[in-house]
Structure formats: structure tokens, C-alpha cells
Amino acid sequence: MPRHCLALDLKDNPDLIAQYEQWHRDIPAEIKKSILDSGVRVMQIFRTGNRLFMIMEVDDNFSFERKARMDADNPRVQEWERLMESFQQFLPWAKPGEKWMTMDKIFDLNADAEN
């Protein structure tokens, strides 16, 4: 299953970070369904300080473009995204409108050293 790793920062405010984590303890069913419907099979978010790290494992039907179209057509997802943006700040190198930034894999312990 293809894997994508992404990063995003939260506003550096302990109260906002706590609220963000609380929202993610029990996300609305419509949001979970939209994630699964886009082809995401596994999604995990980790935090250190105000930096978030997301791991997504996706099926062969997933694409970021398709997910963006699906999200744009879903008023509930748009409402969720507006709420989450109140806790988030874009990474300094993000282009306008870019939120979660894909990360480049730079090391793999199990990769063949010859390649």
C-alpha cells in the first residue's frame, strides 16, 4: 500500500494545541467517511511541540487531486477544514494555500544499499 508522510505546524499555543488534540480524539463520522472514501486506509497523526507529522497509507484509487475535489464538494469537510485552520499555521516554505506538506523520504533502513 503506498504511503505518504506530511507535515504541518499548529499555532504555538498550549490551549489551542490541547483543543486540536481533543477534536481528533473523536472526529465526526462524516469526516472519517470522507477520508476513507478518498482511498485512505490508514491515517495517523503524531505531534512534537507544535509540529504535526501525518502518515497515510492509501489504496490504488487515491490521489491528492481526487481527494481535494471530493473535499471541495463536501460542505461538512469544508466546515471541518475551516475549524482546523483556526488551530493551524502553514509551514514557512509553504506556498499560499498549501496546508499539509508532503515530505521526501531521505532514508530507509531496509532499502538495498546498492540502489
Q: Is the full-model pTM beyond 0.85? A: yes
Q: Count CB atoms within 10 A of the CB of residue 48.
A: 7
Given a cut of 90, whether residue 15 has pLDDT beyond it is yes
- Mean predicted confidence (pLDDT) in 78-107: 95
Q: What pLDDT, on a 0 to 100 scale, did the predictor assign at position 68?
A: 95
Residue 31 and residue 40: Cα distance in Å, rounded?
Answer: 12
Q: Domain coordinates of the chain in residue numbers?
A: 3-102
Confidence of residue 76 (pLDDT cuts 50, 70, 90): very high
Q: How far is CA 28 from each of CA 65, 79, 85, 87, rounded to the nearest angstrom?
A: 23, 11, 16, 17
* Fold classified for 3-102: Alpha-Beta Plaits (3.30.70)
DSSP letters for 28-67: -HHHHHHHHHTTEEEEEEEEETTEEEEEEEE-TT--HHHH
Percentage of the chain lying above the pLDDT 90 cut:
91
